[in-house]
């Protein structure tokens, strides 16, 4: 899309582009662009490079490392970062618990956690979902019972993304079983090295280890680790999930992958059926980008912007459609995901099927797409 940017915003775009393409390690950016998995060290290195330049958490309050930018500048930052293949700052830190602590945390919790969260000195995990509490999150059963100055936590979380790297986990726990289910939930910050906390891997359809179960057996948590008021966890969770939905619609990344697909297709890109398919995806992405510009990226009054659901729904549908295009372009080579470095097949083809399979997750996490349709029906269409 060619936005008619003001001279000032155009200069901002150039600055971002120069920074991302010269200051972030080329090895890391190449791995992202070629669809290879990053190590924990690479993710940390990239975020620390951004943070040093004040570019890791621009949407946070300025006193905690945020930038006084317009929504358009934030959009440009995000788009240029994804375009350059720079890993976006770890969502659990930058988009989820950081804004929550800044909004709801005590001064002591802010000082203790926010600088380390921005710099990825602490790797956060998200402990919301449970085996019987995903879409119906308010039914969660992990309990926290007061014992002197501590909480004693028991229960199980599941689908904990990259929990194997986690230092701390922000967790929704039931602190009052005797009230309406939404009213008895609190948020606790839990050190993942605490005795009684166990992380177990779940193997995914693409063979990767990306998600985990987290078990709590009499885990002792200091009372100070409560975020916000006791039993206000549902309000905090809604604030966090609104931000998460915006974050899981990676418009810039999908545009970059579509442009790569076009270039990998070479002369085939002008065949009528393929040309039409690519053009339709480009148009849909343009429409999505305009929607993204309309959405206030991070809600500030505790309520998610209703359009964040449109962004999540459409963004993940297009992400999946582009991954399907890549499989079709690779053709029979797409099933050779186990091919080694000595294979005669082009390297990019090896990643297409695992990526396609992996991205099935996108319409499930962050609130499934069926749930987003319900939110859209209720809050936007008034049905």
Taking the alpha carbons of 358, 36, 19, 253 in that order, is the dihedral positive or negative? negative
Q: Which of 324, 311, 313, 315 is nearest to 357 (CA)?
A: 324
Closest residue to ligand FAD in the complex (CB): 134
Q: Does 216 bind ligand FAD (CB under 6 A)?
A: no
Bridge-based pairing state of the strands 185-191 and 168-174: antiparallel
Contact status: 166 vs ligand FAD (CB under 6 A):
no
Q: Of 306, 302, 170, which is closest to residue 246 (Cα–Cα)?
A: 306
Cβ-based nearer residue to ligand FAD, 77 or 170: 170
With 0-12 / 13-18 / 19 or more C-beta atoms within 10 angstroms meaning exposed / middle / buried, residue 189 is buried
Nearer to ligand FAD, 211 or 265 (CB): 211
| Residue whose CB is less far from ligand FAD, 65 or 127 | 127
- DSSP secondary structure, 67-102, as one string: ----HHHHHHHHHHHHHTTPPPPPHIIIIIIHHHHH
Applying CB under 6 A, among 69, 215, 348, 365 the residue interacting with ligand FAD is: 365
Q: Work out how close the CB of 92 gets to ligand FAD at its nearest, in angstroms, rounded to a whole number.
A: 7
Q: Which of 79, 130, 244, 289 is catalytic?
A: 244
Closer Cβ to ligand FAD, 134 or 252, answer by number: 134
Examine residue 42 and tell whether it contacts ligand FAD (CB under 6 A).
no
Residue 212 — φ and ψ, nearest 5°? -145, 165
- From 61-69, 112-120, 176-184, 363-371, give the range in contact with ligand FAD by CB under 6 A: 363-371
CA 113 distance to own-chain centroid: 19
Nearer to ligand FAD, 157 or 262 (CB): 157
Contact between 370 and ligand FAD (CB under 6 A)? yes
Taking CB under 6 A as the binding criterion, the range among 33-41, 122-130, 214-222, 278-286 that sits at the site for ligand FAD is: 122-130
Contact region with ligand FAD (CB under 6 A), list: 154-162, 191-199, 229-237, 306-314: 154-162
Neighbours of 50 (CB within 10 A): 27
- Shortest distance, CB of residue 331 to ligand FAD, whole angstroms? 27
CB of 319 to ligand FAD, least distance (A): 13
- Which of the residues 182 through 211 are near ligand FAD (CB under 6 A)? 211
Determine, following the binding rule CB under 6 A, whether residue 128 of this chain makes contact with ligand FAD.
Answer: yes
DSSP secondary structure code for residue 36 in this structure:
P
User: Which range in 123-131, 218-226, 251-259, 322-330 contacts ligand FAD by CB under 6 A?
Assistant: 123-131
Q: How many CA atoms lie within 13 A of 8 on its CB side?
A: 4
Angle between helices 71-83 and 272-294 (to 10 degrees): 140
Smaller CB separation from ligand FAD, 140 or 261:
140
8 A C-beta contact, residue 57 and residue 118: yes
Residues in the chain: 383
**Known active-site residue 108:** no
Tokens 């029979």 found at? 332
Q: Which is nearer to ligand FAD, 58 or 127 (CB)?
A: 127
For position 160 contacting ligand FAD by CB under 6 A, the verdict is yes
- 322 in Cβ contact with 257 (< 8 Å): yes
Q: Where do the DSSP E strands lie in 148-204?
A: 150-157, 168-174, 185-191, 197-202
List Cα–Cα distances, 165 to 3, 160, 246, in angstroms.
39, 10, 24
Residue 21, interface with ligand FAD (CB under 6 A)? no
**Which residue's CB is nearer to ligand FAD, number 101 or number 281?**
101
Instruction: Choose the stretch contacting ligand FAD; rule: CB under 6 A; options: 63-71, 129-137, 217-225, 344-352.
Output: 129-137
**Among the candidate windows 30-38, 72-80, 156-164, 297-305, which touches ligand FAD by CB under 6 A?**
156-164
- Minimum distance between the CB of residue 160 and ligand FAD, rounded to whole angstroms? 5
Q: Which residues share a beta bridge with 147?
A: 150
- Note the residues at the interface with ligand FAD (CB under 6 A): 126-129, 134-135, 159-161, 211, 361, 364-365, 367-368, 370-371, 374
Residues labelled catalytic: 244
């Amino acid at each position: 899309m060619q936005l008619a940017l003001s001279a000032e915003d155009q200069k901002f775009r150039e600055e971002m582009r120069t920074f991302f393409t010269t200051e972030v390690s080329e090895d890391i950016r190449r791995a992202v662009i070629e669809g290879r998995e990053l190590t924990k060290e690479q993710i940390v290195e990239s975020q620390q490079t951004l943070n040093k330049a004040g570019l890791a958490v621009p949407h946070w309050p300025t006193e905690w490392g945020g930038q006084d930018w317009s929504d358009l500048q934030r959009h440009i930052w995000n788009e240029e970062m994804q375009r350059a293949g720079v890993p976006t700052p770890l969502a659990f830190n930058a988009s989820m618990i950081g804004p929550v602590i800044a909004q709801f945390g005590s001064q002591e919790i802010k000082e203790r956690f926010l600088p380390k969260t921005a710099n990825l000195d602490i790797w956060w995990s998200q402990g919301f979902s449970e085996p019987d509490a995903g879409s119906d999150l308010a039914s969660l059963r992990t309990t926290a019972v007061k014992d002197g100055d501590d909480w004693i936590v028991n229960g199980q979380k599941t689908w904990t993304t990259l929990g194997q790297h986690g230092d701390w986990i922000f967790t929704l726990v039931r602190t009052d079983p005797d009230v309406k289910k939404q009213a008895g939930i609190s948020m606790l910050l839990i050190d993942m090295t605490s005795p009684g906390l166990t992380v177990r891997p779940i193997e995914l359809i693409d063979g990767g280890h990306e998600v985990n179960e987290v078990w709590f057996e009499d885990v002792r948590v200091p009372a100070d680790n409560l975020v916000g008021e006791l039993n206000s966890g549902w309000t905090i969770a809604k604030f966090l999930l609104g931000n998460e939905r915006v974050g899981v619609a990676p418009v810039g990344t999908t545009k970059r992958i579509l442009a790569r697909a076009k270039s990998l297709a070479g002369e085939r890109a002008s065949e009528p059926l393929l040309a039409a398919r690519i053009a339709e995806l480009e148009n849909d992405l343009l429409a999505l980008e305009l929607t993204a510009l309309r959405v206030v990226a991070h809600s500030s009054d505790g309520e998610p912007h209703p359009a964040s659901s449109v962004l999540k729904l459409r963004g993940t549908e297009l992400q999946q459609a582009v991954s399907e295009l890549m499989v079709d372009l690779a053709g029979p080579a797409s099933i050779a995901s186990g091919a080694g470095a000595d294979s005669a097949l082009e390297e990019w083809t090896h990643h297409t099927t695992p990526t396609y399979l992996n991205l099935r997750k996108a319409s499930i996490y962050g609130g499934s797409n069926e749930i987003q349709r319900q939110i859209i029906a209720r809050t936007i269409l008034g049905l």
